[in-house]
Structure 1
Amino acid sequence: MLETRTEADTVTSVNEPTQASTSATGGTIEKAWQLPGSEIAARLDTDAGVGLTSAEVAERLDKYGPNELDDSEQETRWQRFLKQFKDPLVSLLFVAIAISLFAWLLEGAQGAPVDAIVIAVIVLANAILGYAQESKAADAVAALSSMTAATSTVIRNGHRERIPSSELVPGDILLLEEGDAVGADGRLLEATNLRIQEASLTGESVAVDKQVERLEGEPPLAERDNCVYNGTGVVEGVGRAVVTATGMQTEMGAIASLLDETEQDESPLKREINLISKWLGISVVAIAIVVMAVLLIVSDLQSPSDYVEILVLGVSLAVAAVPEGLPAILSLVLAIGVQALARRNAVMKDLHSVETLGAASVICSDKTGTLTRNEMTLTSVVSASGKVELSGTGYDPTEGSVVERTSEQAQSEAEFTVLIGAVANNSQLDREESGWEILGDPTEAAFLVAWPKFEAHRAMPGERDAEVPFSSERKRMSVIVDGRMYTKGAPDIILDLCSHELVGQERRELTQARRDEISQAVIDLSAKGMRTLGTAFKDVGERAEFTEADESALCFAGFVGIIDPPREEAKQAIAEAHGAGIRTVMITGDHPVTAASIAEQLGVSANDRVATGAEIDAMTAEERKDVAHEVDVYARVAPEHKLRLVDALQRDGHIVAMTGDGVNDAPAVKSADIGVAMGVTGTEVTKEAARMILADDNYATIVDAVKRGRVVFDNIQKFLRYLLSSNMGEVCTVFFGVVLAGVIGLTDPNSTGVVLPLLATQVLWINLVTDSGPALALGLDPADGDVMKRKPRSLNDHVIDRAMWQRVIFIGLVMGAITLLTIDMFLPGGLIEGSDSLDVARTAGFTTLVLAQLFNVFNSRSAHESAFTNLFTNGWLWASVALGFVLQIAVVHVPFMQVAFGTASLDLQHWLIAIAMGSIVLWAEELMKVIYRALRAMRRAREELAAGK
């Protein structure tokens, strides 16, 4: 039975509460399912037709707080700061501090423990930097959360309003429609064919049919069918409820308060970064232990400080290998990238989903509003006596009129045809300060806009008595008003339900010949890219309920053509996507002819094949996979077909982005690799299922987001290439400096112990200066010129592949070699005779390594292109390099920094040599890139020759 239900006015007794709702006066309502809604509304001091006033809402919001679940997992600022010290590498630094203090005590505690203080300051500085980066990333996530916050429709001050669900208060009158997420617990006052999916709360997979009559006894939560609950979703129908509980007082809040801490799944990128960091740490600690053991065996150690020096060396080697700021920089780069997407109207709900977005190989898009403008304008009406054309565009009903008609009788029929569509309608047309706006489905709103253009003398019928809402399965809706049923829907569906046709004021029997004529007229209008809807009616008498069986023997009034022109930017975006190896698949519920026309205008497909939902139903899974491989246009598609298409495309090896707006789209959106919800027309249920929300419902925004996803992934590879190769250079310098100390003359005449090429504090300085600013600047690098000319990458591709590891090791060896050669150049003895002191030579080597890493920033912008390509497109990069250079001058020449970091002043000759030696890393990489490009060109030539080109 399909009916509108209101509730009885009797009241039953109540017992102790299990669900309590706080009234405006502080009392409670016990067991709301046992009470009639009228009494609940009275206790909450609200009116079902008018709702609360703004003043009452403000008072209750202040008293009961926002409608949000407590976030017990939210970190405080101090927790976030202290977390920076939990890293295993930071523990190594604390070991280094302890060793330095121990050495200082052994040597008589003379003066200040400079090494320990410097390391402690650097640890603190790294913690502050990591805290700042994580805070910025957290702020970005919070901003995104606010942009994707759920909304609810309520009655306040006698008007229908759309508000954030967090602002709901007890006593609000909540309006529920298909696709809405229920924003709070409530007691139903009205329900029309209302079905709600409560699996998230009760575990029941079948949607619950709702009613308004009060219940007896103690039914379990899943059987309280006159109540609605926060976190559930409306699958079908409409309803009205009074809010009885918000926030932690809801049933969802009760569950939330009992939940134990659960770990969130990590993205593939994050898992790979964590794995790399783990193995780097293990490997380098192992190397450090081996090196220390060898040195203890072969060195002539004569004082405790010599042993301490070896321990400090081991710590230095371990610290040199792993980029401490990697996790924080990764989070910040992702956050900045996602914020950039948000500014382009693509709101990502999860930072790490951006990596999947960049790998998309197929974008499955709805037609209406995404590939088209979603400015549905009713321009043609076809009825038994002819055709009527209307002017005007958009949603302003005052702009436009009847501009062409076959006859006066045709206009009368057309007027009634549009009237039916305006009555069987759940959209709303409002005049706002910014202009005319619609609330609801744009296609339905087109009838409301068109009706005034007829300047009709007949009045709009009154309030509806009953309704059978539209559903994607039925493809129609019906209402009863003043004893007459008004029905609108897909022309072929409506025509099958009709036995007669309206001709003037008469109802004539529909012959098969006339049915064929109407069907051909629908095809002709659809061929022009129009969406067609038919209307019909039937006198049923005064009644408040009816079944689907009553939707028969209708009288066909006519059908309309609604134009929704393609977006020009969508056409350009589709071409760009094709150039990037990304297929566009258009999915629509429209007629196949309409779908083919729009697809041709947009350049969606290279062929003219169109598959329908009925054909998909008849296919096996393997046949669907074959069709999905070839067909790019699907018409007369229901939401369940979308899910099958996603599965077929994924089975074909694609990374799928799927758009959706209706509640039944949610399974396909959730199943896709990147689910995309419409921010303007999308339902709350679909938004919750999606990973990305389009603020403008525009296909071009999806393509732009894919491009941005590729740029973010590229930039992650850039700063990983930079960080790992730079830290590899530090490892090679320290390791080979100790192993080859005798060869390069790295000795100290005043000491018989180990002489280090770099001090521990110097290694930490390098990481502080070069691991932060330049790496972050690489994360902000603009898009490469070929970013949308490459084929999509596979999600199985590693962010750090074999080629990158080879390049990292090569650059590390070059850095180590030029640093040690610089030291050798200035020291007496060794391969190259010099005359400077150990402090000066070490400082020169230290400076050379810093400069080499700053030069390496430009290498890291591309694995293949020259560093001199687009050299000045990243201002942040130049600023970070300049800052690093200035800081290095300071650490070499400022007296107190000399003491802290064991440096000595360098003259102009030293600086020029250090700059020249540091630049070798740039020229070496340039040579490697030239060789790579030559080999790639030769390979392509061979492939073209083999292909007979």
Structure 2
Amino acid sequence: MHDDALAAARTEAPSHHWHTLSGDEVRDLLQTGPYGLSEAAARSRLARYGPNRLAPPKRRGALLRLLAQFHNILLYVMMAAALITALLGHWVDTGVLLAAVVINAIIGFIQEGRAEAALDAIRGMLSPHAMVIRDGHRREIDAADLVPGDLVALASGDRVPADLRLVSVRELRVEEAALTGESLPVEKDTVAVAADAPLGDRGGMAYSGTLVVHGQATGIVVATGSATELGRIDEMLSGIRSLATPLIRQIDRFGRVLALAITGMAAATFIIGTLWRGHAPAEMFMMVVALAASAIPEGLPAIMTVTLALGVQRMARRNAIIRHLPAVETLGSVTVICSDKTGTLTRNEMTVQRIACAGHVFDVGGIGYAPVGDIGIDGRVVDTARYPALALAIRAGVLCNDARLRREDGVWRVEGDPTEGALLVLGEKAGFTRDAGKSAWPRVDTIPFESEHRFMATHHRDADGEPWIFVKGAPERILDICASQLGHDGERALDADAWRRAATHLAAQGLRLLTLACRRAAPADGALGLADVEHGYMLLAIVGIIDPPREEAIEAVADCHRAGIRVKMITGDHAETARAIGAQLAIGAGRPALTGAEVALMDDAELRRVAMEVDVFARASPEHKLRLVQALQDDGQVVAMTGDGVNDAPALKCADVGVAMGLKGTEAAKEAADMVLADDNFATIATAVREGRAVYDNLKKFILFMLPTNGGEALVVIAAILFELTLPLTPAQVLWINMVTSSTLGLALAFEPAERNIMARRPRPPGQPLLTGFFVWRVAMVSVLMMSGALGLFLWELDRGTGIEAARTMAVNAVVAAEMFYLLNSRSIFAPVANRAGLTGNRAALLAIAACIPLQLAFTHTATMQQIFGSADLSPLEWLKVFCAGLLVFVVAELEKFALRRSGLAARVAGG
């Protein structure tokens, strides 16, 4: 077949349909002979299809990426503040603000570079070498030189170098968790399957980037480079644009509204002052500059960065590593968490939970690999020695086994197949071990497990030298070789229908099944062979095994539900297993699970509806996970997505918060994520959500503290202009107030501990503005109180004949005193602070006030400051008046909180 015909064949049978074809059909389509391709054919195809590597994405240059970081409303606000301070000659403030702008831009530049590393991590999964058969000779080549039609040999430990259609298999098991999420290595065969079979059920395929953990095989290359499943994920990932976090979107809207308000207010004030009041334009310009300086929240970007950074530190101490700073707060606004199952919600330690024998079903206590737990019936612990079938089944599971169970540093670990490890743990719980006492029945011979015959058999001799053959395998396979069963009353004829019902019942509970049987005989020819495992066996038990949920995950899911957060499980595992684990975790209990195949049949509108109704999704591919995240986001949800495989990377990048596993996660998943769990534990996510809510609370408290401060100063200036009063605050004094409060008082709120009821609230609505109607009221009320205290005191002192410098000094100190008191009010938006905990519960607030007092004393009484700012000394009586002006704000704000709590408005406002 010529290359044109080959290309046509590949078009007719696209990469996701190779699993429907037999090995011979694939050979014919790709013109692969029994000895592989010729070197000439391989060179021709390499020129046509290109190298077997993922093309690097188009990226912006470093300079463009750096300049793009300045396109941010927060940086515009800071640059505007810097311009104003420069016009006033306040060069120190100008330098600090511009430095903050540059630092923020550099941080964004570094974060963007880290995000792009996700694509590089996927490329790093590609195998560098491949064992290829060409012209009948095996040789190792660079994997980039593989072409469609090449015949590739696989062995244990190899990374699959391209997508292969397997044509010969010997005991092949492949670790596909990175692509499918399947918790155990997948047994491979050469059988064709249906076109709609999920990726994890395509036993005749081996995919690029997966790992061979056992056995050998040969396969024909059917896809290379970007045409592989790994390449498709790479293309999906490179096509996803990260969304702005809810906080950034809110701050952006808030900044735009505030910028328009300040500009409009300044323009209106300038026009009124020049045209109505007749002030000189130059004089009015300086007044407007003072007004703008008082209104611009210079401290907001700094406090936001500090608050988020403190949240990062707190989360790191709880095993949550934040890679993208705004993700700290985004966690607090999450409404849906989509979690992987294996190792995150579960322990990733297979555990025997049920043993069905003839006439009895036993429950096994304990979880994980620690051999702690009882065996019982209906809650009653039993002695295994009194149940012959149970005792012999446990012995069979321990002896017909190649795994190892050992304890290292106080932790029990399994070496080998996790399912076999579960049988060893069961033996330990029952007092059976392979190497001690009566259990030490030496192995004479073995038939290892192979996917073709679906069982393992071992030949042993007991303590009396009598021969035994034990087998374990799939229920339907073992039933075929059994003629009898062992029960409580001895050996009887096999009741195959009863065993099939028992198997169906256990499988419906999401358990993986293994059947154990034995034969008291020696191999016919001395050596154990397949002919010895054909008939005449006695069925002992069907064992139900599952990867149990983490105990802390059960509690964490309950915490999330109480906090109004929906938890959804999206896994590559089978539907029944997913439903069973979900029921134990209270995720989707009593509701059906949705499979990836069903998701694929839905349009976007239907998926958007179903995505909120269903909580368990099984056999999900990368496309399914990505579509589910997008459907939830289209419904207005803020989505956190967990994952560990390269198949999870697109959904992790698309989610509002991508959460990767630190212990078993691939580098591609970690680089695509915003947060990495150092302990792979779902409970850590719930803890991080709590911290995220605390961060948002503190940002909100700071804004409620900052805006009245700026508003009070602005109202003082506006009132002076409108009523043709002497300006109570000069531009330099306004900047002094802002500098002091931003660098000392406001910063203290970043250290505010989380409130007790923080996880009892509903998530805030994603579209909720930063300033709600209530917040506008609180800002207006406190602004008027601060303006009244400062302006009232200023006019009173002028009326008493006090000099202009002393009156202004009192006005400045009145504003700062009001802010000190209001800082204590701001520790809680609704709860009272007129108590010991409220006044002393945040040491940072007390330290901030303590630091601010000497600064104000220096502002008032030192000659240098008096010369710079036009301040004057104050008497003790004048300081008392300043104190009373500040106390007024504290008292009225606490009375307002009391009224809100009594009326029930506080609860309604807090609930959004």
Output the TM-score relative to the length of structure 1.
0.63
Change over 3 Å in CA distance of 1:400–1:410 after alignment to 2: closer
Q: CA deviation at 1:774?
A: 2.8
Counterpart selection for 2:854 from 886, 890, 894: 886
Q: CA deviation at 1:845?
A: 0.6
Query: Are 2:485 and 2:539, in contact at CA under 8 Å, matched by a contact in 1?
Result: no
Counterpart selection for 2:422 from 446, 459, 465: 446
Name the aligned partner's letter for residue 852 of structure 1: A
Paired with 1:339 and 1:181, the residues of 2 have a C-alpha distance of 40
Paired with 1:140 and 1:121, the residues of 2 have a C-alpha distance of 29
Change over 3 Å in CA distance of 1:708–1:797 after alignment to 2: same
The match for 1:863 is: 829
SS in 2 for 1:560: strand
Query: Are 2:74 and 2:301, in contact at CA under 8 Å, matched by a contact in 1?
Result: no
The match for 2:745 is: 774
Name the aligned partner's letter for residue 695 of structure 1: A
Query: Are 1:376 and 1:394, in contact at CA under 8 Å, matched by a contact in 2?
Result: yes
Name the aligned partner's letter for residue 882 of structure 1: A
Counterpart selection for 2:316 from 342, 357, 370: 342
Query: Are 1:658 and 1:674, in contact at CA under 8 Å, matched by a contact in 2?
Result: yes
- Greater shift, 306-315 or 67-76, is seen at 67-76
Change over 3 Å in CA distance of 1:381–1:228 after alignment to 2: closer
Paired with 1:138 and 1:834, the residues of 2 have a C-alpha distance of 58
Change over 3 Å in CA distance of 1:12–1:184 after alignment to 2: closer
The match for 1:732 is: 715
SS in 1 for 2:513: strand
**Deviation readout 1:5-25 (Å, 9 max, x if unpaired):** 9x9899959999999xxxxxx
The answer to whether structure 1 residue 515 and structure 2 residue 499 are counterparts is yes
The match for 2:871 is: 903
SS in 2 for 1:771: helix
The answer to whether structure 1 residue 328 and structure 2 residue 328 are counterparts is no
**Deviation readout 1:489-517 (Å, 9 max, x if unpaired):** 7xxxx538963338699x99976424345
SS in 2 for 1:795: coil
Query: Are 1:609 and 1:631, in contact at CA under 8 Å, matched by a contact in 2?
Result: no
Paired with 2:553 and 2:42, the residues of 1 have a C-alpha distance of 60
Within-5 A mapping of 1:134-149: none
Q: CA deviation at 1:719?
A: 1.1
Name the aligned partner's letter for residue 745 of structure 2: P
The answer to whether structure 1 residue 277 and structure 2 residue 260 are counterparts is no
Q: CA deviation at 1:797?
A: 1.4
Query: Are 1:465 and 1:482, in contact at CA under 8 Å, matched by a contact in 2?
Result: no
Paired with 1:360 and 1:381, the residues of 2 have a C-alpha distance of 41
**Deviation readout 1:41-95 (Å, 9 max, x if unpaired):** xxxxxxxxxxxxxxxxxxxxxxxxxx99999649999999999997465456546
Paired with 1:875 and 1:145, the residues of 2 have a C-alpha distance of 41
The match for 1:499 is: 480
SS in 1 for 2:433: helix
Paired with 1:934 and 1:81, the residues of 2 have a C-alpha distance of 47
Query: Are 1:385 and 1:407, in contact at CA under 8 Å, matched by a contact in 2?
Result: no
Within-5 A mapping of 1:203-242: none
The match for 2:619 is: 638
The match for 1:404 is: 384
Paired with 1:513 and 1:92, the residues of 2 have a C-alpha distance of 82
Paired with 1:657 and 1:83, the residues of 2 have a C-alpha distance of 24
The match for 1:794 is: 765
Unaligned runs of 5+ in 1: 20-30, 35-66, 101-115, 156-169, 200-208, 212-225, 242-251, 469-476, 539-550, 747-755, 828-832, 941-949
The match for 1:62 is: none
Q: CA deviation at 1:682?
A: 4.9
Query: Are 2:294 and 2:713, in contact at CA under 8 Å, matched by a contact in 1?
Result: yes
The answer to whether structure 1 residue 534 and structure 2 residue 518 are counterparts is no
Name the aligned partner's letter for residue 791 of structure 1: R
Within-5 A mapping of 1:610-625: 610-612=591-593
Name the aligned partner's letter for residue 819 of structure 1: A
Name the aligned partner's letter for residue 513 of structure 1: D
Change over 3 Å in CA distance of 1:228–1:329 after alignment to 2: farther
- Greater shift, 904-913 or 770-779, is seen at 770-779
Q: CA deviation at 1:642?
A: 7.6
The match for 2:788 is: 817
Counterpart selection for 1:834 from 800, 803, 806: 800
Paired with 1:97 and 1:672, the residues of 2 have a C-alpha distance of 41
Q: CA deviation at 1:350?
A: 3.4
The answer to whether structure 1 residue 694 and structure 2 residue 694 are counterparts is no
The answer to whether structure 1 residue 353 and structure 2 residue 327 are counterparts is yes
SS in 2 for 1:741: coil
SS in 1 for 2:834: coil
Paired with 2:362 and 2:646, the residues of 1 have a C-alpha distance of 35
SS in 2 for 1:315: helix
The match for 1:707 is: 690
The match for 2:138 is: none
Q: CA deviation at 1:376?
A: 4.0
Within-5 A mapping of 1:66-145: 73=62, 87=76, 90-91=79-80, 93-94=82-83, 97-98=86-87, 116=89, 119-127=90-98
The answer to whether structure 1 residue 931 and structure 2 residue 899 are counterparts is yes
Paired with 1:663 and 1:480, the residues of 2 have a C-alpha distance of 33
SS in 2 for 1:718: helix
Paired with 2:687 and 2:545, the residues of 1 have a C-alpha distance of 29
The match for 1:762 is: 733
Paired with 1:307 and 1:776, the residues of 2 have a C-alpha distance of 37
Paired with 1:515 and 1:444, the residues of 2 have a C-alpha distance of 22
**Deviation readout 1:596-623 (Å, 9 max, x if unpaired):** 79946x6x38x97353558995998999
**Deviation readout 1:525-575 (Å, 9 max, x if unpaired):** x6xxx944325899xxxxxxxxxxxx9xx9988532447666554454444
Paired with 1:577 and 1:561, the residues of 2 have a C-alpha distance of 30
SS in 1 for 2:482: strand
Paired with 1:721 and 1:399, the residues of 2 have a C-alpha distance of 55
Q: CA deviation at 1:321?
A: 0.9
Q: CA deviation at 1:939?
A: 10
Change over 3 Å in CA distance of 1:805–1:443 after alignment to 2: farther
Query: Are 2:75 and 2:101, in contact at CA under 8 Å, matched by a contact in 1?
Result: no
Paired with 2:504 and 2:239, the residues of 1 have a C-alpha distance of 62
Change over 3 Å in CA distance of 1:848–1:418 after alignment to 2: same
Q: CA deviation at 1:282?
A: 3.1
Q: CA deviation at 1:577?
A: 3.6
The match for 1:851 is: 817
Q: CA deviation at 1:917?
A: 0.9
Q: CA deviation at 1:340?
A: 2.0
Q: CA deviation at 1:920?
A: 1.9
The match for 2:139 is: none
RMSD: 6.7
The match for 1:920 is: 888
Change over 3 Å in CA distance of 1:71–1:797 after alignment to 2: same
Query: Are 1:385 and 1:413, in contact at CA under 8 Å, matched by a contact in 2?
Result: no
Change over 3 Å in CA distance of 1:396–1:928 after alignment to 2: closer
Percent identical residues: 31
- Greater shift, 141-150 or 906-915, is seen at 141-150
Change over 3 Å in CA distance of 1:925–1:309 after alignment to 2: same
**Deviation readout 1:96-152 (Å, 9 max, x if unpaired):** 645x6xxxxxxxxxxxxxxx3xx1122224445667788899999999999999799
SS in 1 for 2:384: strand
Change over 3 Å in CA distance of 1:332–1:463 after alignment to 2: farther
SS in 2 for 1:534: strand
SS in 1 for 2:753: coil
Change over 3 Å in CA distance of 1:609–1:288 after alignment to 2: closer
Paired with 2:207 and 2:496, the residues of 1 have a C-alpha distance of 48
The alignment of Structure 1 onto Structure 2 pairs a total of residues equal to: 773
Paired with 1:867 and 1:148, the residues of 2 have a C-alpha distance of 50
Query: Are 1:320 and 1:727, in contact at CA under 8 Å, matched by a contact in 2?
Result: yes
Change over 3 Å in CA distance of 1:822–1:87 after alignment to 2: same
The match for 1:159 is: none
Paired with 2:283 and 2:261, the residues of 1 have a C-alpha distance of 21
Within-5 A mapping of 1:241-390: 265-297=243-275, 308-363=282-337, 369-370=343-344, 373-378=347-352, 382=356
Paired with 2:242 and 2:611, the residues of 1 have a C-alpha distance of 33
Query: Are 2:65 and 2:109, in contact at CA under 8 Å, matched by a contact in 1?
Result: no
Change over 3 Å in CA distance of 1:667–1:454 after alignment to 2: farther
Q: CA deviation at 1:32?
A: 8.0
